[in-house]
Amino acid sequence: MRSLVNVAIHASQFPENVQRELLDSLRTRRINHKFLYDGVKQTQKWLALHEAFSPARTDPNCVATYDDAFSATAERIAAKRVHVIGLGCGGGQKDAQLLKLLKQRDKLAGYTPCDVSTAMVLTACQTASTVVETENCFPLVCDLATADDLPAVFNRQIQAGTARLLTLFGMLPNFSPLTIFPRLADLISSKDYLLLSANLAPGVDYTVGLQRVLPQYDNDLMRDWLMTFLRDIGVEPADGELVFAVEDCPQGTGLKRIVARFHFNRSRAFQVANERFEFRTGESVQLFFSYRHTSEHVRVLLGQHGIVVLEQWVIRSGEEGIFLCQRDEPAR
């Protein structure tokens, strides 16, 4: 990786805004997921968890399915210039694979890796550095949930006439459905493509499928990653117990999600940014949730916001799906 990288920081990740959201998370006892990826230590723990449990790393058929989806997507885009915008880029491995296929088809490829974590954005930038030229990579630290002006930001970054392909890999589970689908509709125009993945509940019984995938969450690596946040603010593992459960979506969408909460068995007080917090015995804090969809759920929720699925690919285990989408243009 080059010795100097220019990273754009959106106002949504300015210190005062991040601090306000952290304090709000602690007040409401619902931790914003962005704080689980904040910093090099948490990034490295998440990457280790991803390597150990993600089907993209452990299931050869999942890898092959992504290959099929990427090849079909690259083939469908006719433009000579293509810019990939990685929403929640993580380590950037999937984006880099997609960029490589575009380059093999003689496309002039650009890349904007986006994440709330500077460490993640830099990792994705490095991962893609063998495929994308330095002058065509525009790392962006931003909060997808709160950065309302991202369409304008992308328009300034990307040359007119360039086809845009937005990716959203592994992010859908960690957003409320009533937050992420309207945001995606705001971000894509009629000429853009959207390629997203969804964690699915395998099998014909939605509830049984959720129980089948629970061990991917309730494991030592996941517990260590989640507890890193609590330890950093002054909560000790002995202060309580981390419990995983399957719950209905509180917004009545018909979806279910896997939730991790830390239940306090003794009181713990600590201070963050001059504000004192106390968690009493019997209280809990929601650390994490992950929605599990079905293919039909994804199609319906996208369709409600004017987005149509052009093609879809589901891995053999039924645990993950990939969806290539565009704006649904009404008939004239």
Whose CA is closest to 264, among 286, 245, 249, 280?
280
Fold of 8-203+294-327: Rossmann fold (3.40.50)
Which helix (H) or strand (E) segment holds residue 314: the answer is strand 307-314
- Rounded-to-integer distance, Cα 106 and Cα 82, Å: 10
Q: Is the pLDDT of residue 107 over 80?
A: yes
Give me the residue spans of the domains in the chain: 8-203+294-327, 225-292
What is residue 331's predicted lDDT score, i.e. its pLDDT? 44
Q: Is the pLDDT of residue 38 over 80?
A: no
Q: Mean pLDDT, to the nearest integer, of 255-270?
A: 96
121-138 pLDDT tens trace: 999 999 999 899 888 999
Q: Is the pLDDT of residue 202 over 80?
A: yes
The H-assigned helical ranges of 147-187 are 150-157, 177-187
Contacts with 265 (C-beta within 8 Å, 6 or more apart), sequence order: 239, 240, 241, 281
What is residue 42's predicted lDDT score, i.e. its pLDDT? 84
- Which residue is it, tokens 């125009």? 189
- Rounded-to-integer distance, Cα 208 and Cα 262, Å: 24
Q: Residue type for 287, please? A: L
Chain CA centroid to CA 189, Å: 21
Predicted TM-score (pTM) of this structure: 0.92
Chain CA centroid to CA 168, Å: 6
Q: Mean pLDDT, to the nearest integer, of 92-110?
A: 94
Which structure tokens are listed for 96? 């880099």
279-321 pLDDT tens trace: 999 999 999 999 999 999 999 999 999 999 999 999 999 999 9
- Rounded-to-integer distance, Cα 43 and Cα 144, Å: 18
